[in-house]
């Protein structure tokens, strides 16, 4: 049975990127193509299993593309799709809000 999308747009967004790891993966892919190990290094604290799981979920949701090159060892690259890039204004807003909040709480 196919899962129904939530009626609430906020809930839909949270379903897609409501995990801290997914937001950080998107942050890093906004700057361009990354290989798996690059993401492992840049997303501090994430495990290989969790990164793999989130990349698969994001690929299934149409946010990320995975390209496998027929080499030995296999070379795999990840990119944001057009839909994935459309999340940039949300992350930009999070940067502004987080910066302001940090200033207020450190004052």
Residue 24 has pLDDT above 90, yes or no: yes
Residue 107 has pLDDT above 80, yes or no: no
3-class SS of residue 72? coil
Residue 68 is given by DSSP the state E
> Could you report the per-residue pLDDT of 80-92, keeping only the tens digit for each?
999 999 999 999 9
Residues recorded for the chain? 107
- The model carries a pTM of 0.86
* Mean pLDDT calculated for residue range 72-77: 89
Average predicted confidence (pLDDT) for the chain: 92
- The CATH architecture one would assign to domain 9-106 is Orthogonal Bundle (1.10)
3-state helix, strand, coil in the chain (%, to 5): 60, 15, 30
- Class of residue 28 by CB neighbours under 10 A (exposed 0-12, middle 13-18, buried 19+): middle
Domain ranges of the chain: 9-106
> Could you report the per-residue pLDDT of 34-65, keeping only the tens digit for each?
999 999 999 999 999 999 999 999 999 999 99
> Could you report the per-residue pLDDT of 59-68, keeping only the tens digit for each?
999 999 999 9
Q: Which two tokens stand for residue 19?
A: 């995990």
Question: Do the beta carbons of residue 98 and residue 106 sit within 8 Å?
Answer: no
């Amino acid at each position: 049975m196919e899962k129904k999308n939530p009626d609430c747009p906020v809930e839909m967004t949270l379903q897609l990127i409501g995990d801290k790891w997914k937001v950080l993966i998107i942050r890093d892919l906004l700057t361009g193509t990354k290989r798996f190990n690059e993401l492992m290094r840049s997303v501090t604290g994430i495990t290989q299993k969790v990164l793999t799981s989130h990349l698969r979920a994001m690929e299934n949701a149409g946010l990320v593309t995975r390209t496998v090159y027929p080499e030995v060892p296999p070379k795999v690259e990840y990119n944001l799709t057009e839909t994935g890039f459309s999340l940039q204004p949300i992350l930009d807003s999070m940067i502004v809000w987080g910066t302001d909040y940090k200033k207020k709480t450190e004052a």
